Amino acid sequence: MGRPIHTRGLVLRRTDWSESSQIVTIDTRDHGIIDLLAKGSRRVARRSSSFAEPLDLGGWYDLVYRPRSADLHLAVEARLIEGFPHLRDNLAAWLEACFALDLIRAAFTGGDPHPELLRSTLSYLKLLGVGRGRLALRNRFALELLHRSGVWGGWELCATCQRPLVPGEVYWHVTAALLCGDCRSGSDRSLPEPLRRTFLELTAVAWGNLPSLAIPEATLVAAWNRVREALLHHLERAPRSLRYLRVGDTSATSAPLG
């Protein structure tokens, strides 16, 4: 067993392992996704206990763990920094949060840290409590996840020839790549310029300003339909939480921007 490692991490999944212990999947700041055995974390807290309470889904923790040769490492200590209690008070916000945690688990493998995405995830979870702009926040989070996982090419240049894209002559490839008219194939669809500008705005604005963006819901739904398509293309398996997300009014899903 290795020397203790001190880091911080976000709980992506938890499973009761026995009457007193848990197995938790955590996205750590320094070492990416790891699985930990937290012995005694479900016991009533004692003064000498390393766990004040069971580790909670979506909690941001100060962690100490011992690496083991097997995939399951041993949690030594966990101190809750931020539990995002507002997520438990609103079902829609909680479902959005669970979807984000599921996406991280599905998109990345162990030992592949992405501290920038982790910081964005914490901002996302915090802003879900604002009560507005959730679809804008979801689009932004999914776009950043695609970018950090290396499959999103950006919105200014053709993904194939790297020439600047000309407004009105931009085509969407299912991978979330944008192509010019010369590089498009028969299956690629036109990306309306207002929708491309929406993507640019969503990815350029600071996280804290996203809930106040004045973007029509129909446009955000059309953007989400494209992003969802890219996610399903790249992920081996769609997260179960995806089916529970609200995507807007049925009238908006058929908007011409899509």
Q: What is the pLDDT along the chain (258 residues), one digit of tens a residue?
A: 679 999 999 999 999 988 889 999 999 999 999 999 998 888 766 544 578 888 999 999 999 999 987 789 999 999 999 999 999 999 999 999 999 999 999 999 888 999 999 999 999 999 999 988 999 999 999 999 999 988 887 888 999 999 999 999 999 998 889 999 999 999 999 999 999 999 999 999 999 999 999 999 999 999 999 999 999 999 988 888 998 887 754 333 334 445
CATH of domain 86-253: 1.20.1440.120
DSSP state of 58: T
- The counts of H helices and E strands in the chain are 6, 8
CATH of domain 5-83: 2.40.50.140
Sheet hosting strand 178-179, strand order edge to edge: 178-179, 171-172, 189-190
Domains 5-83 and 86-253 share a fold: no
Domain boundaries, the chain: 5-83, 86-253
